[in-house]
Chain A
Amino acid sequence: MYSEAARPILSCAAMTCEMDSVSGPLQILQDINFTLAPRRALGIVGESGAGKSMLVKAIMGIAPKGLKTKGRIELDGQDLLALKPKQRAWLIGRKVGIVFQNPMTSLNPFVQIGRQIEEAGCIHMGLSKADARSRAIELLSFVGIPDPEDCYDYYPHQFSGGMKQRIMIAAALICQPDLLIADEATTALDVTVQKEVLDLLQTIQAERQMSMILVSHNLGVVAGRTDEILVLYGGNVVEYGPTAEVFRNPRHRYTEALLSAMPAMDQPAHTRLRTIPGQPPNLANRPAGCPFAPRCPSAQAVCHEIMPPMSAGIHPDHRFACHFPLAELPRPAPQEVAHVQ
């Protein structure tokens, strides 16, 4: 999709995830298509239940048992779904690093953090004990942990939430991955610490020339830090394109509704917020047509019957699945875009 790039580091084509439940099969993800080029950052946004985490877990092969994934997921040219589970885990462990929302459930409380950082390095890279230790210490200092040599022997409870998240980032980097995934990695942190951790991720991404996926429910988190953005709603990609373009001129009505539901820092007090009436779709009993149609103020009969295909705007990379998209805005003159800070 992005012509400048050579082989994409990750691509999903017609990816679908289904799972059985007591109330029938749940269609968790439907027809997901995207490509992530080397050294690019992709933001995945959506509300709870949109399928953000499931998408990440399905790619990583760590989805709950019973999740049936179809389609094609390619990591650095290899079709993950065609590989045997062991080979797949081996490849992903070597090439992808992941940081989850809650570091306390990812870190073992009984094991010194240095050991936990090295673990994947010893398995995948065959590092010797001494090499692993020196690399772990190097990474600890790289992610901004003071006195890394002492901290190597500390246990997780001796660190604050932000520090633990830095340790998780260090552990994700030990195999020098080509792709780093941060799944709501800063959601549990204070704003000031969130900013630091996001800054760190961005710095690392640039320095190590990695690709990155930032998964968040907070549009503000991905706005200034990603190149492309994927908006999920009810398990469907509703809008996908260059971040700046999607924010400047959202074409899908859900994206636009989501953006205007957020209280903005430049609104005066007691500004009425726009709401999105109704509920996200029931995944066990999906309505035909567009998943957003029941909540969409502009929905017509066709929206309830036919799922809109992804179509492109004037910007060929900006795509959206809507029968009645919002109008295309003219590109502003460059000086209007320039932001005074």
Chain B
Amino acid sequence: MSSDAILEVQNLSVSFTRAGKEMKAVDDVSFTVGAGETLGLVGESGSGKTTIGRALLRLLPNANTTAKGSVRYKGQDLITLPSEDMRRMRDRLQMIFQDPLSSFNPRRNVEDIVAEGLVIQGKPAGERKARVQSALADVGFDIDLVAGRKPHQFSGGQCQRIAIARSLAVEPELIVCDEPVASLDVSVQAQVINLLQDIRENRNLALIFISHDLAVVKNVSDRVAVLYMGRIVEIGTGPQIYTRPAHPYTRTLLEAVPVVDATRKIEPDGKRTVMPSRNRPQGGCAFRSRCPRATEICAEVVPTLRTAPGGQMVACHHPHDEPASGMAA
């Protein structure tokens, strides 16, 4: 874990209220991100990955939403920051979304889309042009070839590169990437991942990489946080999480990843997941109804994060100690 954390998230909770009922989407989450570091957030749908990403940048809807806890970026608490200051903060914190096309104005030219953040910052036209040019160059576009074209004239992978260029134009220090490759084909996904890695290295960017794909997260992340029902159940370095996962949920996830290995036929098992209700919290560990290791204590006491034998933090009463089977470093 890096000591020079630029982002410190402490006890972040986000809840949505609907029809008088409160639903905790994110529950008491704490983590840090160092300069130039990539933190991967993984979990199933509904685990709170996107909500965390949006909460960090204050992009959650205002109505019926409560965010508690603190999100400190270089000492400044973003949760309580006045919105005018938050707007200025956005030249250091950026976000990339899963579906780039829906995050672009379809009627604008590519160069205007990329310049949007710079306009908001009030940068003079000359500087804007230079920055747009260099941001587009960073993602592999020649401004003279793409200028004047509209988003629909680009493929999905190209649109995602334009979205990356848009976030790079303001020269941020941290980018939250929310499923940036989920909608892309394998060959295009590889291009975008490599691109993000190059940019991260060249610009010493910190990334928060949200994905449901554990193989992608493994490739891009220095550290990984595993989320289940709004809580971090395990957080540690990539090798810790992938070679010696301590939480039974992390193991369940890893075992379910479809592996490109045709040397052995997969033996189907008849297990079936029963997802517990989010509206009626069951008390104790949220994973216990799916957990093969659950005992009485799991129903009574909510496990808190503590250090596992492998060195990572795990929230489990009965963590695994042995290395995962079939997992290479």
Contact = CB atoms under 8 A, between A and B. Distances in A.
Interface of A: 47-48, 144, 146, 160, 162, 190-196, 198-200, 202-203, 217-221, 223-225, 243-244, 246-248, 257-259, 261-277, 279, 337, 339-341
B186 A220 contact: no
Most B CB contacts (10 A, CB to CB) among A194, A244, A263 go to: A263
B259 to A, nearest CB: 6
Nearest to A204: B268
Contacts of B105: none
Contact of A265 (B218, B266, B269): B218
Interface of B: 44-45, 155, 185-187, 189-191, 193-194, 197, 212-216, 218-222, 238-239, 242, 252-266, 268-275, 325-329
A275 to B, nearest CB: 5
Contacts of A339: 261, 263-264, 326
Contacts of B191: 275, 277
A195 B266 CA distance: 10
Contacts of A270: 197, 219-220
B81 to A, nearest CB: 33
A265 B257 contact: yes
Contacts of B186: 47, 217, 219, 258, 261-262
A47 B185 contact: yes
B257 A275 contact: no
A219 to B, nearest CB: 5
Contacts of A162: 273
B275 A160 contact: yes
Given A220-B260, A267-B218, A273-B194, A192 B252 contact: yes
Q: Would you list the 3 A-B pairs with minimal beta carbon distance, nearest first?
A: A220-B258, A199-B268, A224-B266
A223 B261 contact: yes
Nearest to B195: A275
23 contacts: A48-B185, A162-B273, A191-B214, A191-B258, A192-B253, A192-B273, A193-B44, A198-B266, A202-B268, A203-B268, A219-B260, A223-B259, A247-B260, A248-B263, A263-B219, A267-B219, A268-B239, A269-B219, A269-B220, A270-B219, A273-B193, A276-B190, A279-B155
B261 A224 contact: yes
A269 to B, nearest CB: 5
B275 A275 contact: no
A196 B272 contact: yes
B187 A265 contact: no
Contacts of A247: 260-263
A275 B259 contact: no
Given A202-B266, A270-B219, A217 B185 contact: yes
A266 B197 contact: no
Contacts of B260: 219-220, 223, 247, 259, 262, 264
Nearest to A341: B326
A50 B324 CA distance: 37
A167 to B, nearest CB: 14
A244 B194 CA distance: 29
Given A203-B268, A341-B325, A272 B194 contact: yes
Contact of B272 (A144, A243, A277): A144
B263 A244 contact: yes
Contact of B238 (A225, A246, A269, A337): A269
B219 A191 contact: no
Contact of A203 (B187, B270, B274): B270
Contacts of A276: 187, 190
Contacts of B326: 339-341
Contact of B45 (A47, A190, A196, A243): A190
A224 B264 contact: yes
B263 A337 contact: yes
Given A47-B185, A224-B265, A262-B190, 4 more contacts: A144-B270, A192-B253, A265-B214, A271-B219
Contacts of A224: 258-259, 261-262, 264-266
Contact of A248 (B190, B262, B272): B262
Most A CB contacts (10 A, CB to CB) among B239, B256, B325 go to: B256
Contacts of B275: 160
Contact of B258 (A223, A263, A271): A223
A19 B171 CA distance: 46
Contacts of B272: 144, 196
Contacts of B262: 223-224, 243-244, 246-248
Contacts of A146: 274
